[in-house]
Amino acid sequence: MILDFSIFFLLAFILTMGVHAYFLSRAKRQKIKKYNITGERWASQRKPMLGGIGFFAGFAIGVVAWNFMGSHFTQTADSHMIVGVLAAVSMAFVAGLIDDVFNTSPLFKFAMQFAVGAVLIFSGIYIQIFESQWFNYILTLFWVVGIMNSLNMLDNMDSVTNTMCVIVLAGILVLLLSPAREMFFVILIVPTLASMLAFYRFNWHPSKMYMGDNGSQFLGAFMAIMSIRYLWNPAAAELSNPVYPFLIVYLAFLVPITDTATVTINRLMRGQSPFVGGTDHTTHHLSYRGLSDRQVVCLLGAINIVSAGVAVWFLLMPPKSSWPLWVAGCAALVVSGLLYANTKVTKPKKVEKG
């Protein structure tokens, strides 16, 4: 089985590498370079923003593979849930693509993100930690909209968002290697993860192409689904305290959550909207400290590998007492606090824009 999935991963990697390369070449020939007037990136904004097409191609490979291979597994998947996953991810990708082309308003983006959350709830994919279903539904909508915006906001420097998602998705894949794995989601994750790794060829600094909103919104919806099924709900089932699912998710998404909270707090304190782009993210302030773009990605990636690894470990081996969870949570808060404090002591430098 491991050999089969390794071959599947390699084939998906090669195919999606070709998809990324094809759309990059088309963009160059037709001079498709979006200038993002509604946001502000760290480097030149005049680059193709088509990375999400490759991500969606990887996801589509998984869907096609399930149609051919699903009958060979003893474990079946609820057709209602499958349709919900396909609809939610497709809506997120198309909405992001529309935003990339037309620079839509934040209201449109929020409406589509809310719709994605509603589709997931309707298909049975929602957070289940409270006795009240309405509380569960509200938290699910908040999480879906929140993580889709968080990953979109974090996509301000080459490879940052892609790296955080690769780390979390790899951790979830480890959780799915257990005997009780759900083959439908394994078959979706493997080629999607392959497409994200292939994207490094084009997005590692200095990048040739960005993922765009079509990529960040796709990843936001996909990560929302996977985190609900394999982080939120398993944590609620395996760990005794209803606070622990929040802790597990915080550990898994430490960098995106910290960045979103930091930017939101700082901009509100300055009387600015959190939804207007700028070079005031945690990534930028690490660069102001003297780190190169690659060093910033490696540092934040290392932080999230450790925190997400701890979250996965807690789910694989639930602690017998609560103190390891609280120690990990306090350590994560210290890291978040240090990243936030850095934004208060470092000052922007003049950066050459392309």
Q: Which residues lie closer than 8 Å to 265 by C-beta, 6 or more apart?
A: 340
Residue pLDDT, tens place only, 246-286: 999 999 999 999 999 999 999 999 998 888 778 899 999 99
Residue 226 lies in a domain: yes
Residue 16 lies in a domain: no
Give the pLDDT band (50/70/90) at residue 35. very low
Supply the mean pLDDT for the chain.
90
pLDDT of residue 277: 77
Residue labelled with tokens 């996909």: 222
Instruction: For 148-176, give one letter per residue: b (16+ CB within 10 A) or e.
Output: bbbbbbbbbbbbbbbbbbbbbbbbbbbbb
pLDDT surpasses 80 at 157: yes
Return d(Cα 278, Cα 88) in angstroms, integer.
29
The total of structural domains in the chain comes to: 1
Residue pLDDT, tens place only, 164-192: 999 999 999 999 987 657 889 999 999 99
pLDDT of residue 353: 38
- For the segment 296-324, the average pLDDT, to the nearest whole number, is 95
Residue 211 lies in a domain: yes
Would you call the peptide bond into 206 cis, given omega within 30 degrees of 0 as the criterion?
yes
pLDDT surpasses 80 at 300: yes
Residue 9 lies in a domain: no
Instruction: Please state at what angle helix 79-102 crosses helix 212-227, rounded to 10 degrees.
Output: 150
Residue 65 lies in a domain: yes
Residue 102 lies in a domain: yes
Residue pLDDT, tens place only, 45-66: 568 888 999 999 999 999 999 9
Domain residue limits at 233: 50-345
Q: 128 vs 184, 189, 246, CA distance in Å?
A: 21, 22, 12
Residue 13 lies in a domain: no
Nearest to 213 by CA among 108, 327, 297: 108
Residue 31 lies in a domain: no
Write down the pTM of the prediction. 0.93
pLDDT surpasses 90 at 31: no
Instruction: Please state at what angle helix 254-269 crosses helix 160-175, rounded to 10 degrees.
Output: 140
Nearest to 339 by CA among 266, 246, 232, 244: 266
